[in-house]
Structure 1
Amino acid sequence: MKSLGSRAAGARLERMKASPLWAGDRFQNVHPVLPGLRDPQVKMPSFTDFLCGGEHRVPLAPLPAMDPRDTWARTPGSGLRVTWLGHSTLLLEIDGVRVLTDPVWGPRASPSRYAGPKRFQPVPVPLRKMPPIDLVLVSHDHYDHLDYPTIRELAGVDVPFVTSLGVGAHLEAWGVEARRITELDWWETHRLPGTGLSATAAPSQHFSGRGLKDRNATLWSSFVLRTDRHSVFFSGDTGLTTEYQAIRDQLGPFDLVMLEVGAFHPAWGDIHLGPKNALEALRLLGGGPFLPVHWGTFSLAMHAWDDPAETLLKLAPGMGAQLVMPRLGEAVEPAHAEDVRPWWRGVDQGAPHVAPEPAPAPEVLPKQMPWPID
């Protein structure tokens, strides 16, 4: 299956082997797992649990969404504007530079068109109608962050990519020219030619892989984007790590912090934040306007679809966190963000019950997927 991607070889592989994060045949997390993140008493969910377990995992009606294209046509007064397009896909406008993060327009977070987690909310703007993009940022190679059909379409556009070590092999296999790809190790920086923007890869506590035989064959990263006027942090996927304090010391403070809050589970609490640990990560990063991502698009764990939002709304005031929680497609400037209005609460009210999509038979599930899948 082409969507599985390609393994690194040659000079790319040699560069990966030179990384201090390379452990003989794969990358590794170097920071010890903090106590209490993973509950050893909780078993890893089975595929049956994942397909059929949990309650209220998808909304009963479409989420409210806006068309941001008229707003995008106007320059943001503060110089910094962000539009959440679903899951971890955002359009960042930073002092005249447009950056697209972890672009996923495909229907499933899966190598198959017929099985795997299905998108329950479309992207507010079709990919072909997006404005010109100056940079595509890809944090790691999981299906809900690196999407084959989306990359195939972007391969036909002359836009540069910045990503983690090894991920470029997938991009090249799908038609992106090598000259357009920059792969970074942690703490390495790429300066986008002709702009004042730099992108720095930074630590995260996660893993990688698109099949059963390529676990940790590519690197995973968070990223910091900087200009002379603004600095923003994008977590990619991660568990809680005190390395965030080092990121703050070396690359902060931040005018916008984007942290993953969904797809959490006590069996994998070391590789995903969830809302509670995201607030602690925000504190370690030194604060700043906080836009939660990695929710509202796919059901990738057993919790209710709106649990991350409700938990954040409850806990954030006690931790002094400034939440920025726009509707899908709502372009906002963090410097002028208004108080959060819980727009998600009206989604299920009065909506007719919709039976969940029947789970596919086990034999049609992809046999080459890591677990958990993100």
Structure 2
Amino acid sequence: MKRRTFLTGLAGMIPAGILLSNTNFNDTPTLSHTFNPKLPYDKTPENWKGTPQLSDGTFQNLYHPFEASLAAVLKWKLNKNPQEEEKKADKRRLDVEKIGTFQPNGKDELIWLGHASYLLYIGGVTILIDPVWLDNWVLKRNSVLPIIPEQIRDVDYILISHDHRDHCDEATLKLLGGLLPDAKILTGLNMTPLLQPWMPKNKIQEAGWFQSYALSESLRITYVPSRHWSRRGLMDTNQRLWGGYYIESSDKTIYFMGDSGYGPHFKLISDTLGSPDFALMGVGAFKPEWFMHPAHTSPMDAARAFRDMGGKNFIPMHFGTFDLSDEPMLEPLDWLRANPEAVNGALIDPFLGRNLI
């Protein structure tokens, strides 16, 4: 992404760039905890009180307070990228296998659609995760979408981890709202006012961290913490909750990280819900690390988090489709391939459009 293009899209996606603040500095916000009273807690950490929220309405990370600095954004974007020439010379792109109409054969499937977007069939249920398939005013795809949207049928749930534009795209969701009006949306607290106008026929469930959604199937999906933040415009910082998902069927568990920096919450999740069979871990958009690490894990930090969780299979994501940071787009995968011991030899090499489980 060009620096000037980034600055025009500053409000919507990359951390720490607050141009205007909706905080009243004359009042010191007080901390409380919240949840959706309509949804259950099946498993919680010891002494769990709920999702942290300040009296000004902003949600908070469990262990690391959100910090915003326009000066840090400008320092990054106005300084030269030390890997700029290397990045320009690297023309490699992700391998893609077109899949046509999705017709499950009864076996579980996890198909990567690029960045943090997945098509999942598990326990007889079809799920879309963070579908961002169309170019928008900030993002341009650098990998081919493996499937034609109109060829997806009978989706039960659409999971939207948080409101950032590389995970929550208005045009894609409007398209899916028309194609899949019966699909239920599973997301975080206070996301309905954003999503419902785009998908007026779709029912939406909002969860706090460690709450499980009300599903008719035996499948259990729990919304879990991440170390991140949220914003779509200039005045709504952290007004919508962010998180990941822990998906459990009768014979398999899948952890989807969403966006997150490294922190103790990874072990907290596995201590509470168990070590995942498959961990979908963000590894890209991590340079410069001094700036990105509170919001995105590097491949090194993602590997550390995977080991903290005791995961069995490591599936990297959040790289190779959108150009969001300083590193060449396939550098995270290069590091993982060169350091298989970092994930205990459990790397599943990603391939767009191919079943990964």
| 1:91 paired residue number | 119
Pairing partner for 1:192 from 197, 210, 215: 215
Task: Give TM-score scaled by structure 2 length.
Answer: 0.78
AA in 2 matched with 1:169: P
Give me the whole-angstrom Cα distance separating, in 2, the residues matched to 1:303 and 1:222.
24
**Aligned mates of 1:244, 1:134 — CA distance in 2:** 27
Question: Match for residue 7 of structure 1?
Answer: none
Aligned to 1:240, the other structure's residue is in SS state coil
**Residue 244 (structure 1) shift:** 1.2
Deviation at 1:317, TM superposition (A): 2.1
**Residue of structure 1 equivalent to 2:6:** none
In structure 1, distance between residues paired with 2:110 and 2:337: 20
Verify the 8 A CA contact 1:261 1:274 in the aligned structure 2: yes
1:1-374 aligned at under 5 Å gives the runs 20-25=51-56, 26-32=58-64, 44-46=75-77, 53=84, 55-56=86-87, 60=91, 63-69=94-100, 72-76=103-107, 80-108=108-136, 112=137, 116-156=138-178, 157=180, 158-177=182-201, 180-193=203-216, 195-265=217-287, 266=289, 267-333=291-357
Cα 1:54–1:43 shift into 2, 3 Å: farther
Deviations 1:211-244 (A, max 9, x none): 1221111010111011222211000000011111
Shift of 1:175: 3.0
Q: How many residue pairs were aligned?
A: 304
Classify the secondary structure of the residue corresponding to 2:53.
coil
Q: Which amino acid aligns with 2:123?
A: D
| Unmatched 5+ stretches in structure 1 | 5-13, 34-39, 334-374
Please report the TM-score for the alignment, with normalisation by the length of structure 1: 0.74
1:7-34 superposed Cα distances (whole Å, 9 cap, x missing partner): xxxxxxx97799641112211112037x
Kindly tell me: are residues 120 and 180 of structure 1, through their superposed partners in 2, closer, same or farther at Cα, counting changes over 3 Å? Answer: same
Q: Distance in 1 between matches of 2:135 and 2:177?
A: 18
Q: Distance in 2 between matches of 1:204 and 1:58?
A: 34
In structure 1, distance between residues paired with 2:100 and 2:355: 9
3-state DSSP of counterpart to 2:223: strand
Q: What is the CA–CA distance in structure 2 between the aligned matches of 1:17 and 1:54, rounded to whole Å?
A: 49
Cα distance in 1 for partners of 2:283, 2:249 equals: 26
SS of 1:313's partner is helix
Q: Does 15-24 or 271-280 show the bigger shift?
A: 15-24
Alpha-carbon separation, structure 2, partners of 1:43 and 1:83:
37
Cα pair 2:64 2:227 within 8 Å, conserved: no
Paired AA for residue 95 in structure 1: G
Q: Relative to structure 1, is the Cα distance of residues 97 and 20 closer, same or farther in structure 2, using a 3 angstrom cutoff? A: closer
Contact 1:279–1:321 (Cα < 8 Å) also in 2? no
More displaced 10-residue stretch of structure 1: 291-300 or 248-257? 248-257
Distance 1:309 1:57 in 2: 18
Map Cα deviations across residues 152-197 of structure 1 (whole Å, 9 max, x no partner).
01212210010011112111121334x610000001001321x111
Residue 29 of structure 1 aligns with an amino acid whose one-letter code is: N
SS in 1 for 2:334: helix
Cα distance change on mapping 1:57 and 1:105 into 2, 3 Å: farther
Return the alpha-carbon distance in structure 2 between the equivalents of residues 122 and 149 of structure 1: 17
* Counterpart residue identity of residue 59, structure 2: F
What is the CA distance between 1:90 and its match in structure 2?
A: 0.6
Q: Distance in 1 between matches of 2:231 and 2:89?
A: 26
RMSD after superposition: 2.9
In 2, distance between residues paired with 1:47 and 1:119?
Answer: 24
Secondary structure at the counterpart of residue 332 of structure 2: helix
